[in-house]
Structure 1
């Protein structure tokens, strides 16, 4: 999609930069072969799909690895590919023998190319480009062929860097125009001034990028190759290095052990960018946003200088077990002074991961909104908080507020734990199946609600969008099949109907002393209780509301290698048919949406976005580029206000939470910001209209399935 400012080169490099490194790090060939052998054994025996390691599979690995290393076609030439192609249909045979000759050839050549990259971009950015030349660039790199030779490759570099410079020049000119509108006497710069400044900024961006590239290690490179192999089974199967596995565990549990600060690399330094509310650093009080961490000491040990250290390594020294002390030597943002700050590490909960709720009054009645960002669980300690127990507690709190209806917001919820979604589904029914899961070659296994009581039996609306996936789709599908709730949102959800299991490789090689990482492998498909799969299809909303993704290529159906849709026998369940006016409410909502000028405009905007999605060609003549850019901006202006909306409703926190605000002002600020956004949410506003109209049957009409 063409937008006013687009810097595809940097974005592409950042996306694939976890594959790069500065020089060939010392590798352990035996370890590399061992990891490959274990992965191959697990995949062929346990993956949901029985896959032959044949020439087709070999070709997939060949293409995937080369494209993952060089997605913007800036390193390899067709001459390189000619040499690589000797292995194109041999990789399957190599894998069977744990042979990594293909990997070593491509990896070594790529490192050679990376070694000359700095010289290339620095040389090209020394002098101005020819901005009057009539030429263009296609940034759809999936369709752009690899350069024929080194001369053409250099021209690829030139065009991509030129596009970045042109984009930045226009930005600078636009900024000056805005200043002159406010102050006619403001200093003016010439095109040549902006051109020089733009080249310097692009050069700095490239330098910063290659600093990060050079920090990466041999294991990062090898992980890229391994993922090229395992992705041949399906898009959701992946190899996790020990570092990535640690991040995954943290993400799934919503917790970490450490000081409770978000850090980022800034030049040679590690900078504090946020303190997590309620965390150890926040409680201690001396560490502040903007501070630079210079040294790290474990208790009374000698401090370690972390200036110039890669961020992941610095974080490793700063994090640590609950109850241990870390001493940070910090350069303070405010006065530049140096200070040693002792902090006792603790469990840090990432609040934005967890369930939160709000109360709103509409037409004299109270309603509750529960936002669930993820179906989280701590796999290492299932006694810790998880999405199901938190959801149950939040429902009970809202019942004390006397809410008469409930919205469960699963928009942008990418899924999580299968166990938690089964437990959460059970909160809304008396008993019965929630989902069916199936292993390769076996009949479907029905997963039932284990809690015989219903924790919420009132009106229910479930909000979803195109990014609601996996566990979100299980919950939405169950509520739809039971007739328990109204599903509202995009036309259909993401369409991920597969289940992955995390397998630590050391479990299968118990005597190996080092950490081998883990395999996230697709082991099951799940099915609705009505027998249909959510794979590819997702869950179709009862009430579809236009959004920016309505016409986009988006979701599981657009992934290469996605498993197909299929079905199994329906489970036996009792449909609640909870509402006496379900059809009437659906029709009323659809009429409101069709007549609402905002939704009509959003639908037109979605069509416009789709039209521009495939337009990936940019002029590199500055005057033409600027004219085309201005035309696009002018065209886009008619959509400027389509998402501007403000209801007359007031959202507030449940009473239990307001009592926490006196001690936790950060939490208070976050909730106030959330409530402000809820007030501007046109989708939530229509969901509340639907919720307020729903009428429960006095006695649920039981329809045996």
Structure 2
């Protein structure tokens, strides 16, 4: 892996192509940063990508299609005449990329700015007068099939119907709410039709104003990033350009840390509002800043306070974030209207939701541990800081000390992360051996091993997955499955991302700093394979026990992505399966039988099919009577599935002692854990995972005094 990257750096550093990026003479400087960025990206990706696509007419058509869809997904801005003009470039974008020609981007950007301005006037005009919900008309929301408007008149009509559908839905909801209030309190005076109609238009106007306000805040660079990523996506779904701010957000998401004051912000009209204080952060510790405060000015230490009213959110965030130990002074308007200046010393903030957490539950007289891993996180810049591998090992140790009889490792919705942490985590459950195989386009395969013979947990193990368990999650599940070390339960298959990406800082190749930060490129450099030789690409990992899923029939996996790399197979790595799998087949058979006979799972399967059928219904009546009839039918059907949300497994989940102590001093942490434990107590999937742990218990469990039948099964009273 490292060898490939060193070769890439050497090639780029030695290439004469980079002569254009030096500052040896004024003539060698290209004045357009966008062109330099395109040249740099194209060169790096063609040299470093696992299997770079050929930049030809088909490539050009893909860029054109993806970019136009990204600019105007609901076809509410561009006219057909615009598309006719744009389409002249459909087969030329490959040549424009090669020649660093920005003609197409400039044309579409300028046109979009014009159409956005026109759209702003259109929706304000539409919402200035009442809607007639009695007339017969329909609106189709299948934007892929609906054509662009032929002229301005047709575009206004499309806008009108889009907005009318939104307000109609809100209007009928308000009517029902008023009726419910009247039912509860006969003395309540229901708001009139006209008042409710006006309220829905006002609400829609505010929503659209906010939406357009966000779009107006976007700079040309933001739209250019969108164009670049329409190009990058042609190589594969995971090759992405990060503008400087996006790179910073990516680093934060991977490490779960950043330096700042520890507050979540949102735009509220022209102000920046505090929406939450991050538990343990300096703002939280200081107890002066509060949820709901509005930030008016920002000053650095003893510097001059800068007015941030009307400033875009990202710019305000830049001013507030800063190095650990530095001071920032915020002028805020409190919820009571008073103005205060609050000094905060910045610190390292840990985003608690990023990190692993565990819980303990008792079932049939046994104690089990549930570990939830939301991401395979790591701090690439400081390996001494916490990472997923070290944290999971710590939780396993704590659960062992708590005396658990089995562990459920939940990686549902875990989109992946660091490859090295996967090896560390898988190694906790096996003696030693290969965990994953990696292959580059031109080099021999590399095998990553767990070399530590120590087994942290040798008891019953279940891995929970779903269709959003991707990449690193799939490596872990595949390794555990291939070793027959644990049982994989969840969706029919996981996401199917079997590729490795490297984030490359583009600035290291640019000598001219006058252009500022060029950001980074995340590009696919390798494919990984199970130790049995099969790829997880497209196919994912098939669960040993498949549980019905509400979204099982929707297209959401790697196999549904355009330009995804293909599945293939390589030779297997030498490994030996776990020597204690005698109960696996019976445990899997027991689980399948329980699921087959479980009323709740049958209902979930029926609900999944209904959701799939609903996704194909795109035509809506804008007549209020017909709309209500259709909505009532949907609501009546939905009532049948209400038991899914109301389900309770009657299990009590609790935190480990160390966390109970922390929660006693931190009300926010306490609230978050209580919410998690409540969700676990309503989770039929976790319940079935615990049932599987029951079935995996060794006969020696009889030593605990718990009654066991002749087959080694718990006697349930």
Q: Is the 8 A contact 1:602 1:643 kept in 2?
A: no
- 2: CA distance between counterparts of 1:57 and 1:656? 55
- The residue that corresponds to 1:656 in the other structure is 658
- 2: CA distance between counterparts of 1:451 and 1:665? 39
- The residue that corresponds to 1:217 in the other structure is 219
- The residue that corresponds to 1:47 in the other structure is 49
The question of 1:348 aligning with 2:352 is answered no
- 2: CA distance between counterparts of 1:546 and 1:344? 50
- The residue that corresponds to 1:88 in the other structure is 90
Q: Is the 8 A contact 2:417 2:472 kept in 1?
A: yes
- The residue that corresponds to 1:643 in the other structure is 645
- The residue that corresponds to 1:301 in the other structure is 303
Residue aligned with 2:133, SS: coil
- 2: CA distance between counterparts of 1:211 and 1:694? 57
- 2: CA distance between counterparts of 1:613 and 1:349? 39
Instruction: Mark the runs of 5 or more structure 1 residues left unpaired by the alignment.
Output: 1-27, 699-705
- The residue that corresponds to 1:72 in the other structure is 74
* CA displacement at 1:649 relative to structure 2: 2.4
- Match runs of 1:265-414 below 5 Å: 265-333=267-335, 335-414=336-415
Scaled by the length of structure 1, the TM-score of the pair is 0.93
Q: Summarize deviations over 1:614-651 as a string: whole Å, max 9, x none.
A: 11111112221121111111111111112322233222
* CA displacement at 1:554 relative to structure 2: 2.0
Instruction: Mark the runs of 5 or more structure 2 residues left unpaired by the alignment.
Output: 1-29, 701-717
Q: Is the 8 A contact 1:261 1:275 kept in 2?
A: yes
* CA displacement at 1:577 relative to structure 2: 4.4
* CA displacement at 1:448 relative to structure 2: 1.1
Q: Compared with structure 1, are the counterparts of its residues 386 and 697 closer, same or farther at alpha carbon in structure 2 (3 Å cutoff)?
A: farther
The question of 1:37 aligning with 2:4 is answered no
* CA displacement at 1:319 relative to structure 2: 0.9
Scaled by the length of structure 2, the TM-score of the pair is 0.91
- The residue that corresponds to 1:150 in the other structure is 152
Q: Summarize deviations over 1:344-389 as a string: whole Å, max 9, x none.
A: 1000001111011111122222211111010000111111110001
Q: Is the 8 A contact 1:461 1:487 kept in 2?
A: yes
- Match runs of 1:123-162 below 5 Å: 123-162=125-164
- Match runs of 1:263-662 below 5 Å: 263-333=265-335, 335-513=336-514, 514-662=516-664
* CA displacement at 1:332 relative to structure 2: 1.4
Q: Is the 8 A contact 1:579 1:697 kept in 2?
A: no
- 2: CA distance between counterparts of 1:86 and 1:423? 53
Q: Summarize deviations over 1:413-467 as a string: whole Å, max 9, x none.
A: 1111111111111111111111111111333221111333211111100011111
- 1: CA distance between counterparts of 2:564 and 2:580? 35
Q: Which moved more, 1:246-255 or 1:633-642?
A: 633-642
Q: Which moved more, 1:560-569 or 1:246-255?
A: 560-569
* CA displacement at 1:511 relative to structure 2: 3.2
Residue aligned with 1:286, SS: coil
- 2: CA distance between counterparts of 1:144 and 1:229? 25
- 1: CA distance between counterparts of 2:66 and 2:522? 18
Q: Is the 8 A contact 1:418 1:471 kept in 2?
A: yes
Residue aligned with 2:118, SS: helix
- 1: CA distance between counterparts of 2:351 and 2:257? 6
* CA displacement at 1:191 relative to structure 2: 2.3
Q: Which moved more, 1:129-138 or 1:200-209?
A: 129-138
* CA displacement at 1:29 relative to structure 2: 5.9
Q: Summarize deviations over 1:459-507 as a string: whole Å, max 9, x none.
A: 1000111111110000000000000000011111111111111111111
Q: Summarize deviations over 1:4-38 as a string: whole Å, max 9, x none.
A: xxxxxxxxxxxxxxxxxxxxxxxx96100000001
Pick one of 185, 190, 193 that aligns with 1:191: 193
- 2: CA distance between counterparts of 1:81 and 1:279? 50
The question of 1:169 aligning with 2:179 is answered no
- 2: CA distance between counterparts of 1:455 and 1:241? 41
Q: Is the 8 A contact 1:259 1:281 kept in 2?
A: yes
Q: Is the 8 A contact 2:410 2:464 kept in 1?
A: yes
Q: Is the 8 A contact 1:580 1:695 kept in 2?
A: no
Which structure carries more relative contact order (alpha carbon 8 Å, separation 6+)? 1
Q: Is the 8 A contact 1:578 1:697 kept in 2?
A: no
- The residue that corresponds to 1:9 in the other structure is none
Q: Compared with structure 1, are the counterparts of its residues 331 and 448 closer, same or farther at alpha carbon in structure 2 (3 Å cutoff)?
A: same
Residue aligned with 2:234, SS: coil
- 2: CA distance between counterparts of 1:168 and 1:646? 32
Q: Which moved more, 1:639-648 or 1:551-560?
A: 639-648
Q: Is the 8 A contact 1:39 1:519 kept in 2?
A: yes
- 2: CA distance between counterparts of 1:363 and 1:193? 58
Q: Summarize deviations over 1:666-703 as a string: whole Å, max 9, x none.
A: 222222221222122111111111112204599xxxxx
* CA displacement at 1:149 relative to structure 2: 2.3
- 2: CA distance between counterparts of 1:661 and 1:111? 50
Q: Compared with structure 1, are the counterparts of its residues 500 and 329 closer, same or farther at alpha carbon in structure 2 (3 Å cutoff)?
A: same
Q: Compared with structure 1, are the counterparts of its residues 577 and 135 closer, same or farther at alpha carbon in structure 2 (3 Å cutoff)?
A: farther
The question of 1:235 aligning with 2:237 is answered yes
Q: Summarize deviations over 1:520-571 as a string: whole Å, max 9, x none.
A: 1111111111111111111111111112112222211111121121111111
- The residue that corresponds to 2:27 in the other structure is none
- The residue that corresponds to 2:23 in the other structure is none
- 2: CA distance between counterparts of 1:339 and 1:128? 43
- The residue that corresponds to 2:247 in the other structure is 245
Q: Is the 8 A contact 2:179 2:190 kept in 1?
A: no
Q: Is the 8 A contact 1:580 1:696 kept in 2?
A: no
Q: Is the 8 A contact 1:48 1:522 kept in 2?
A: yes
- 2: CA distance between counterparts of 1:339 and 1:109? 44
- The residue that corresponds to 2:711 in the other structure is none
Q: Is the 8 A contact 1:240 1:520 kept in 2?
A: yes
- 1: CA distance between counterparts of 2:411 and 2:37? 37
* CA displacement at 1:510 relative to structure 2: 3.4
Q: Which moved more, 1:669-678 or 1:30-39?
A: 669-678
Q: Summarize deviations over 1:280-328 as a string: whole Å, max 9, x none.
A: 0111111111111111111121211111111111111111100011111
Q: Summarize deviations over 1:240-268 as a string: whole Å, max 9, x none.
A: 11011111101110011011111111111
Residue aligned with 1:73, SS: coil
Residue aligned with 1:328, SS: strand
Q: Is the 8 A contact 1:489 1:541 kept in 2?
A: yes
Residue aligned with 2:527, SS: strand
* CA displacement at 1:157 relative to structure 2: 1.1
* CA displacement at 1:133 relative to structure 2: 2.6
* CA displacement at 1:408 relative to structure 2: 0.4
- 1: CA distance between counterparts of 2:436 and 2:146? 43
- The residue that corresponds to 1:703 in the other structure is none
